[in-house]
Amino acid sequence: MSRTYFGTDGIRGTVGTAPITADFMLRLGHAVGRVLRRNAARATVLIGKDTRVSGYMIESALEAGFASAGVDVLLTGPLPTPGVAYLTRALRLDLGVVISASHNPFGDNGIKFFSASGEKLPDQWEMDVEAALAEAPQWADSAALGKARRVDDAAGRYLEFCKSTFSQDLSLKGLKIVVDGAHGAGYQVAPSVFHELGADVVAIGCEPNGFNINEKVGATAPQALVRAVAEHQADYGVALDGDADRLQMVDASGRCFDGDELLYAVVADRLSRGEAVPGVVGTLMTNIAVEQALKARGVELVRAKVGDRYVLEELLARRWQLGGENSGHLLVLDRHTTGDGIVSALQVLQAVRRTGKSLAALLDGVHLFPQVMINVRLAVRSDWQQNATLVAEKARVEQELGSGGRVLIRASGTEPVLRVMVEARDKVLAQAFAERLATAARAA
C-alpha cells in the first residue's frame, strides 16, 4: 500500500495548502486517536511544536481531533523535537506529536510522531493512520471526550535530560560557545544547557517572532554562526535547525564540520577509550572519506536510505549505537532514542574535553571528498527514472568517474525536488558533473 500523506519524515507541506490545513489536521488527530484506541481504552498524547505562527492553528486542530476520538492531550508549547520524544517516554505516554517543518521556511509546517518509547514509528503504523483517514469518523460521545492540559515544566525537564548525557566528570568551563537556535524550537533550552554545564554562551538566532525560523540562521545557514564565532572570539559554535534535532559545528578558525565529521569524532573518542564500536550506520549521502577512515580503524559502515528514521531502523536491527547523516542528524542510542542536536553537540564537546584535542585534531587525516548537490524542482510525485535523458547522462557520468567518485540521484521526501549529488576527489569535476545531470533532469 502506498502512502498518500506521509513522506520520509512525517507529513509536511505549505500552510494553507492540503494537507497542511486546519480541517485536515482535525481529521488527522481523529484518525490517529482511533488507531491509538485500538490498543488502549484510554490514551494520552503529548503535542509539542516549533515557533512558526501556524503552529497555533495546527495545535488547536489536532487537539480537537484527538479529543473527538476520546484521547487526552498534553501540550508543551515550543519544544525541540527530541524533547517531545524524551517526555513521551519519561511520562509513559502513548504517543508524541511534533508540529514542525524542521529546516523549511516559516510558510511550511508539518507533523511527525513518536512512539511510547520515544522512537520514530514504522511505515505500517503510518499506513494504518492513512487507512483510518479514509474511513468515516466515529465521534466520541460527551462522556468519553478527551481532555487537554499544559505541561508547564516541559522545557526544564528536557534541559536536565540533556545535561545528564554529558559526563559528570567533565564541564565546559573555559570554553566560549556561540549557540544558534535558528529562531526555532531550541531557542530557550539550548543556550541554557551549555551555560549550565559551565560554558560562556553567546546566543544568536534565539529571538523567534513566528516568521523568522531558519531565516539566515541555524544549521542550514551556518555563515551566521561563522561570523558570530569570529566576532566574539569564541572557541566553538553550535547551530541547530528549526526543530533542534540536527546541528552543525564551527571552530575558532571558521571551519564548519558536517554530520559525517561530527559522527566520526564521536566514534574516534569511544575507540580511544577502548569502547567497542562494532559498526556505524550512515546513509547514501555519507562521505566516502569517512567510510574509508572508519574502515581503517576496523569499524564497518552500513548505508541506509536517506532519512534518520531509516538510520534508526538499521541501528536497531543490528543493535548498534551510533549513526547519522551528513546533514547533522546524529543518533547516539545509548544517550537518546532519536536524533538530538543538543545532545549530539555535547557528545562532540565531551570528546574535545576528554582528549584535550581540538575538534580539528580529532579529525586529522580525514579529508572529505567534495560533494556537490543541486536541487531540481519537479512536478509533485514525478518519477525521475522515467526521464531517459537523465538516466543516460547518469550512466555516462558514472563511467567517467570510475572509482574516483559516485553519483546519487533521489527524490526528496519533504519537498517536490530532485536531489542530484556528485562526489569526487576534485570539486571542479564534481560541480561540472552535477550541472550536467541537473541539466538533463530539467530536460524532462
DSSP per-residue string spanning 399-422: HHHGGGEEEEEEE-SSSSEEEEEE
- Running DSSP on this structure, what letter comes out for residue 115? -
Q: Which residue has the cell 554562526?
A: 225
Asked whether this chain's domains 157-255 and 257-362 adopt the same fold, the reply is yes
Question: What distance in Å separates the CA atoms of residue 223 and residue 133, rounded to the nearest whole number?
Answer: 43
Rounded to the nearest 5°, which phi and psi values hold at 159?
Answer: -60, -45
Q: Tell how strand 11-14 and strand 148-150 pair up.
A: unpaired
31 — pLDDT class (breaks 50, 70, 90) = very high
Pick the CATH number of 371-442 from 3.65.10.10, 3.30.310.50, 3.40.50.450, 3.30.410.40: 3.30.310.50
Q: What is the mean pLDDT of residues 412-418?
A: 79
Question: What distance in Å separates the CA atoms of residue 48 and residue 8, rounded to the nearest whole number?
Answer: 20
Quickly count helices (H) and strands (E) in the chain.
14, 18
- Is 426 a residue whose pLDDT tops 70? yes
Q: What was the pLDDT predicted at 409?
A: 93
Rounded to the nearest 5°, which phi and psi values hold at 113?
Answer: -125, 150
CB neighbour list of residue 345: distance below 8 Å, 6 or more residues apart:
238, 247, 249
CB neighbour list of residue 299: distance below 8 Å, 6 or more residues apart:
267, 271, 277, 278, 279, 280
Indicate the fold that domain 257-362 takes in CATH.
Alpha-D-Glucose-1,6-Bisphosphate; Chain A, domain 3 (3.40.120)
Question: What distance in Å separates the CA atoms of residue 299 and residue 201, rounded to the nearest whole number?
Answer: 35
Rounded to the nearest 5°, which phi and psi values hold at 75?
Answer: -115, 130
Q: What was the pLDDT predicted at 380?
A: 60
Q: What was the pLDDT predicted at 385?
A: 84
- Is 414 a residue whose pLDDT tops 70? no
pLDDT, mean over the chain: 95
Q: What was the pLDDT predicted at 51?
A: 98
Q: What is the mean pLDDT of residues 162-172?
A: 97
The tens digit of pLDDT for each residue in 254-304 reads 999 999 999 999 999 999 999 999 999 999 999 999 999 999 999 999 999
9 — pLDDT class (breaks 50, 70, 90) = confident
Q: What is the mean pLDDT of residues 193-219?
A: 98
What CATH code would you report for 11-152?
3.40.120.10
Pick the CATH number of 157-255 from 1.10.3720.10, 3.40.50.300, 3.40.120.10, 3.30.420.40: 3.40.120.10
- Running DSSP on this structure, what letter comes out for residue 202? E
444 — pLDDT class (breaks 50, 70, 90) = low
Catalytic residues: 102
Q: What is the mean pLDDT of residues 320-330?
A: 96
Partner residues linked to 47 by β-bridges: 75, 97
The tens digit of pLDDT for each residue in 76-107 reads 999 999 999 999 999 999 999 999 999 999 99
Identity of residue 363: L
Question: What distance in Å separates the CA atoms of residue 182 and residue 207, rounded to the nearest whole number?
Answer: 9
Q: Domains of the chain: which residue ranges?
A: 11-152, 157-255, 257-362, 371-442
- Is 382 a residue whose pLDDT tops 90? no
- Is 210 a residue whose pLDDT tops 80? yes
Q: What was the pLDDT predicted at 1?
A: 54
Spell 239-256 as b/e; 16+ CB within 10 A means b. bbbbbbbbbbbbbbeeeb
- Is 229 a residue whose pLDDT tops 90? yes
Nearest to 100 by CA among 244, 248, 313: 244
Q: What was the pLDDT predicted at 384?
A: 85
Model confidence, pTM = 0.90
The tens digit of pLDDT for each residue in 115-136 reads 999 998 988 999 999 999 999 9
The tens digit of pLDDT for each residue in 46-65 reads 999 999 999 999 999 999 99
- Is 383 a residue whose pLDDT tops 90? no
